Each structure stands twice: as structure tokens, then as C-alpha cells.
Chains A and B, each alone.
Chain A
Amino acid sequence: MNEIINMSVLELRDAVIKRDMTATDAARAYLDAIDARNTSLNAYNEVFTEDALAQAGEIDNRLKAGEKVGPLAGVPVAVKDNICTVWGTTSCSSKMLEGFRSPYNATSVSRLREAGAVILGKTNMDEFAMGSSTETSFTGPARNPWDVERVPGGSSGGSAAALSGGLCAAALGSDTGGSVRQPAAFCGIVGMKPTYGRVSRFGLVTYGSSLDQIGPMTRDVRDCALLMNVIAGHDSRDATCVDSPVPDYLDAIDQPFDKLRIGLPREFFTEALNPEIRQAMGKAGEVYKSLGAELVDVSLPHSRIDTDENGALSSYAVACYYLIATAEASSNLARYDGVHFGHRTTRDCGDIVELYSASRAEGFGDEVKRRILLGTYALSSGYYDAYYLKALKVRRLIKNDFDRAFDNCDVLLCPTTPSTAFGLGEKVDDPLAMYLADIYTTSVNLAGVSAVSIPAGVSKTGLPIGMQLIGPVFGEQVVLRSARMFELASGTCRLRPPALGGKQQ
């Protein structure tokens, strides 16, 4: 069965449709792998064994009867635990939503099901998607399959660990400031943050409404394009979901661009950049040049990354992001009141404000409280102009920089993260240090543009290095095709951790 868990989504789907194997075989192979290894990775919060086998059986029956099946027929997929499913619970890895059962499926989940995917279960995450290591989870941290003493990144760390650890064929994550791309980089997989409005967020538990997007996590770029084909597109139940045609992202995916202009944002290649990651980016640039691409110097002044006098990383974009995201979170998370759903204190409360305040104190973890309070402060009377409004103006400056950069290039190339996967516990007591793990990713969400993180190699210490390709609004096609060019030419695709038989590069 070891073979099945190494297949790409396309290979697995084709094998099921050709009836070389059954969807039930595929589901069982993954359920067995989960049984064997989830305890050490803590990638899943919940596994839907019976439902997954029933969904796989239904695909097999349809194939037996000669009926048509969808483009993800029999593909076992994991879903981040902040995306609603009618199976099991949707907990956001929070005590607040422990046991919460959604009455409906998120649109992205319905579309996966319509395409024939089998939903394996819900993956671990930072509580309410607030974190960059999956350590703020109420169910305990997920671990990196490349080194279980290191974090898988976050907040979609459970999805990344499950995929990299061979516990699903593809996964859904959500990305508010880097939460798909950063764990993808840490775990050596592909992760996409689509353009704001490209994928429906109906059924995604809201964190930062003007930033959140659902994105696919896969072993290679073609699989990513296939999942985008399934989940992208208009949905009348999400008013921010744009009603414009979705191209076939697999179309010409293997065909390299003759003339590709790749912008290198000079503010991302400052002295603050880790030398080994700089070297990997340099090599990637050489690969593109050998394919006929042109490397162009571009400028994103308001996303500049520096080191301050204390040696700490410094960025306007991260400052801007943490004001806007927390302001939105403080408003969005007001719905957890201990009345309609979610945790309620057992204390005998004298009035309703005490009921709210005690339920929220008990239900939320430290990081969620910190962000709600920071956002509450940024929006409060007397500070609104100095913090929230200021951040919205800086956001415009950041967006304008991207617009100008794309006048001179087709995609931007830069690191996904300032370091490879860090150790468990290394940053948990220093919230600011944790926020800086997103230093290369937050400006993409602020600008609303599209980006993918793909593996660019492995460090001397044996950990994956991620590389980010950023495209303009609705630039998914050019982003994916240029990512595929690199993947084919460099051979860094489908990295496998040593524990799963991958060899060090």
C-alpha cells in the first residue's frame, strides 16, 4: 500500500478511473497510514473513517455502473478544521468550538465532493488560524514530518503535516497572512493563496474578513492547478466571491513560457535574508534564466524587510497586517458569546455581560485573547485614527507598490519564510517573534494578489526551503505555470521527508 500514498492526485485519480485500483483501496491506504502515524504527527483533529469509506464506496459503485465521475474521483483529501463539514465537528482547534457540528458544508468542501473527492477528516491548526506554528491549538501542536521536534508552520500546519507525512493526497488550508504558504514551505509541499475573491469562503470560519482565502495544498504544482479548477469560481453565498470566468489552470501547465519576466523585489533581498535561503533563491533565478526567463529588479518599498538595531526583523507590512487582522478579528470573534453556539461557562452568572466575559475567558486560548484585545484597542475611541486608519492607508501604499511592480514583470520571486522550520517551543513565549515568521507573506494578503509557495530545495540541516511566486490579481494561471516550469526543470518537486523514504538533496 506504500505506493498509493506516494501518488500525486492526478495519478491516483487516473488509476481509480481506469480501475487499476478502487477508491476504497486509496481511502484504506490513507486511513491505515493515519492509524499508524497520526499519533506522532498530531496532524488530524478528527478522522471520518466510516464516512470516507462510504464516499469511496460510492465512487467505486458509480464506476462499476459505468457512470461518469468527477475530476477528483476517489482522491482522499484533508480539510482544515476551520472549514465547515457536515461530518464530524468543526472546532478551529479551540475549546470555544469543541464539539461544534456544522449544519452545512463549506462551498469548497461541497465542490470537492461533487468532483468525487473523499474527505478523510479535519486537520489541526493554530486556534482560530491565529499563529504560525500550530502550537496555539487546543489539541496540542502538530509536528513536522521532516523532524518531529520542529513545528510544521501554521496556521494550516495540520494540513501541511498530513500531506507531507503521507496522511492525505491533498488538503485545504486557509491563508490570512501566510497560513497556507508558510507551512507549505516548512513541510516541503506546494501551497497556494488565491486572489482575494477567487475561492468562495462560505463555510470558512472567519478571522480577518478582508484577508482570508481558502487555498489548496498539494505535492506538486499540477495537483494544485487541478484543485484550483475545482474550488475556484463564483458563489452567490459569498458576496466577496468575484463573478468572473475561471480559466482551466491545467491548460498548458506543462508548457514553459518562452518569455517570462521575473521580478526580484530588492526589499526582500536585503542583508536581513538568511544566507542559505538567499542561495536557494539565487539558484532558482539561475534555473529560470536557463529556461529563457528574464530577471528584473523591482521595488516594493513599503514591504521592505530590514534588521533593526537589536538584530530583529523589521517590516511595515507585518505591522500593518497585525493591526488590520486583529481589528477584524476582534469584531468577527464577537459572535462567540456562549449563547448561540460554542463554549458556555458553567458558572452561575448574575447577568449576561458576565456570561459573555466568563465564557470567552474560558473558551479562548492566550493568542486569540491577545489578538482580540489588540484589535479592540486599535479600534477603540481615541486610537482608531492612529492605528487602524493608519494601517488602512499603509495597506494602500503596499498595494500600489505591487501594481507598479507588475508593470515591469509577470511574476515576483522571493522566499516564503525568513528561516526553515523552527523548533517546537522556540517562539511560543514571544508573540512578536512568531508574527515575524510571516514577514514574506503578509503583504500578499494585504494587496489581495495571488501567490504560491513551492519547494526550492533542502537545507544543509535537512529541512525544506520554500520559494514564493507572486502574481497580480487573478494571476493564478501565470503563477502556476511559472511554478511548474521551475518544478520540472529543478527536480525539487514531490519532496519526501526521510522518514517516508525521501532522500536528502
Chain B
Amino acid sequence: MSGKITPELVSHIGRLGRIELSDQQVVTLQRQLSDILMYVDKLKQLDTWNVEPMVYAVDIQNVLAEDIPGASLSADEALANAPQRDGDFFMVPKVLGDS
């Protein structure tokens, strides 16, 4: 059921992935993603009926930690790489609309 990769679809994926794309990038990506998807389509040749999907490389059990408070980064350390801060907060543009 592979969909055809249209410029609209590339722009849509760009919005989902939160990456602005120029018109030129949309054209290039349409071709490149189409090539790659045509290549991965070969997986359809394989019968995977009744095959359990493999999410992890090795069998992993749930790992639980004791709930013991320990040392963590100070606010200053955690904010040290922030592009913009306001006191002990990360600074962002307005999140909610005016109305």
C-alpha cells in the first residue's frame, strides 16, 4: 500500500517532523524519498504472516529502580546550554494565541 510521494506529502511530513522545507528541498526530497521507498518495498516480497515483530535487539525485562532520591543537575547546570533563559526557566515565544 505504498503511497506515491507527492510534493504535498513531502511538505506534510516536513510539518509532522517540524522541519521547514524550501520548495527546492521538497523537489529533491520527493525524488530521494521515492527512490528509498521503492528500494524498501522489496520487504513486501517476504511472507511475514504470523511473525512476531522484534522491537528490541535482545530480550529485555522491565528494569525497576528503587525510589531513592539522589544527586541531580542543579538548575544552573540544566540551563547552561539553553539558547535563552529567564531566571530558572527556559524561554520560548508565546505558546497560546491572543484570544
Chain A residues packing against B (C-beta within 8 Å): 100-101, 103, 195-197, 210-211, 236, 239-240, 242, 302, 314, 316, 318-320, 322-323, 330, 334, 337-344, 349-358, 360-361, 364, 369-370, 372-374, 376-377, 380, 382-383, 386-387, 389-397, 399, 431-432, 435, 445-448, 473
Contacts and interface: CB of A to CB of B under 8 A. Distances in A.
Contacts of B41: 319
A360 B83 CA distance: 13
A239 B29 CA distance: 36
A339 B1 CA distance: 38
B93 A101 contact: no
A395 B69 CA distance: 39
Contacts of B80: 101, 103
A504 B39 CA distance: 39
Given A360-B19, A373-B19, A386 B39 contact: no
A435 B35 CA distance: 12
Interface residues of B, number: 53
Contact of A210 (B3, B56, B90, B95): B56
Nearest to B21: A361
Contacts of A352: 92-95
Interface in B34-60: 35-37, 39-44, 46, 48, 51-58, 60
Contacts of B27: none
A397 B46 contact: yes
B58 A448 contact: yes
B19 A369 contact: yes
B82 A236 contact: no
A339 B82 contact: yes
A373 B43 contact: no
A340 to B, nearest CB: 6
Contact of B2 (A322, A374, A386, A392): A386
B6 interface: no
A373 B94 CA distance: 27
Interface string B1-24: 111000001100111111111000
B99 interface: no
Given A103-B77, A376-B17, A396-B51, A349 B58 contact: no
* Most chain A CB within a 10 A radius of its CB, from B17, B46, B73: B17
| List of 4 A-B pairs having minimum Cβ-Cβ separation, nearest first | A448-B57, A392-B53, A341-B81, A344-B83
**Secondary structure dominating the interface of B:** loop
A453 B16 CA distance: 39
Contacts of A370: 29, 32-33
Given A341-B82, A350-B93, A383-B3, A446 B57 contact: yes
Contacts of A210: 55-57
A191 B29 CA distance: 34
Contacts of B10: 373
Contacts of B84: 344
B81 A342 contact: yes
A183 to B, nearest CB: 21
Contacts of A377: 9, 13, 33, 37
Contacts of B37: 374, 377
A144 to B, nearest CB: 26
Contact of A339 (B52, B60, B73, B92): B92
A114 B65 CA distance: 25
A381 to B, nearest CB: 10
Contacts of B94: 350-352
* Most chain B CB within a 10 A radius of its CB, from A211, A236, A372: A372
Nearest to A337: B18
A377 B18 CA distance: 13
Contacts of A314: 42
B1 A386 contact: yes
Contacts of A320: 40, 43
A399 B59 CA distance: 12
A397 B16 CA distance: 31
Nearest to A355: B93
Contacts of B33: 370, 373-374, 377
Given A352-B92, A376-B13, A397-B48, A339 B53 contact: no
28 contacts: A103-B80, A211-B57, A240-B60, A316-B42, A319-B39, A320-B40, A341-B83, A344-B84, A350-B93, A354-B93, A355-B93, A357-B20, A358-B20, A361-B20, A369-B25, A376-B16, A377-B9, A377-B13, A377-B33, A380-B16, A390-B44, A392-B53, A393-B51, A393-B52, A394-B46, A396-B54, A431-B32, A431-B35
Contacts of A302: 46
B57 A447 contact: yes
A382 B16 CA distance: 14
Contacts of A364: 19
A380 B1 CA distance: 13
Contacts of B3: 382-383
Contacts of B58: 195-197, 242, 448, 473
A135 to B, nearest CB: 16
A103 B75 CA distance: 12
A303 B62 CA distance: 30
Nearest to B38: A432
Contact of B57 (A196, A355, A374, A431): A196
